[in-house]
Amino acid sequence: MIVELQGLHVFGYHGVAEDEQRLGQMFLFDVQLEVGDRGANDVLADAIDYEDVARAIREVSTAERFDLLEALASRTADTLMERFAPERLKLRVRKPQVKPAGMTVDYSAVTIERP
């Protein structure tokens, strides 16, 4: 069984540019937690509550400031592994407000997987 959140919007002050650090911006988190049969018995206490997952992601994003998406993704993945102990985790952090010189892009992203 996989618990997923796709496109979780979390505001943060991450990035190298001064404007990113001062003004902040929205980041999008996609997470998949492979949890075995946890929750199959229809008991919330035995499951991974996706609201708790969302809160954990927001806590990481607001507790620290990261220059690089790689660091934000890594710290978030570590936190989710520690708190929820999934069998596997896949996390993607997207940064939609990217402006490469003279080009257009929908977003930049980092994907991290943990066994």
- 98 to 25, 72, 89, 94, 113: CA distances (angstroms): 10, 16, 26, 10, 23
Residues for the chain: how many in total?
A: 115
Is position 99 annotated as part of the catalytic site? no
CB neighbour list of residue 24: distance below 8 Å, 6 or more residues apart: 11, 12, 13
The active-site residue out of 20, 27, 95, 97 is 95
What letter would DSSP give residue 57?
H
Rounded to an integer, what distance in angstroms lies between the CA atom of residue 26 and that of residue 7?
Answer: 11
* Catalytically active residues, by annotation: 95
